[in-house]
Chain A
């Protein structure tokens, strides 16, 4: 499968715990995006990487959130001290240049 891959598909965590998600983009894609989608809403932009550089962060990305893309390949999104309001689907997308973005299957986070 050469699409965008996300791991895990589903994560249940207790409030206050830290979680980390991984995204593997399509191999030749230099741009990688993270979005968050809550129930009944469209995805909302969180952050964007061009190669290894994080160039844009939404105000939705509080200090508890951090994203990295070492070596411009896979990316990780970490949430520290999770809160119930963090429960959502976290989507990763990748693109080559300004061409269309392709999404992964998402990681569904449930904070209990």
Chain B
């Protein structure tokens, strides 16, 4: 069983829709939770970073963490074609003082105009 599970999609929605992306994890040692966006043939770009259960909002993006259920979500409101990308959840634990990121498989999202 993978430490982080993410539905790979693909997910296709119309412009303006609310998008919900989800990940589950099995390791209680994870302390930080992140969402990255990755465009084709580019490196991952950090979108959201949180360490506690609850919601964190940044513009059209909301990250939600439920540590009791080992479940994290990313919501995108008023989705735009420019949001079309692969979204990666990532979780970290500390090894010898440094954050080691464990990624989900990534969900490929397409926003249709």
Contact = CB atoms under 8 A, between A and B. Distances in A.
Interface in A1-56: 4, 6, 31, 33, 35, 40-45, 48, 50, 55-56
Interface residues of B, number: 27
A42 B46 contact: no
Interface residues of A, number: 27
- The main secondary structure of chain B at its interface with chain A is strand
Q: Binding site of A, secondary structure by majority: helix, strand, loop or mixed?
A: strand
B74 to A, nearest CB: 14
A100 interface: yes
Interface of B: 4, 6, 8, 34, 36, 41-46, 49, 88, 90, 94-106
Interface of A: 4, 6, 31, 33, 35, 40-45, 48, 50, 55-56, 91, 93, 95, 98, 100-106, 108
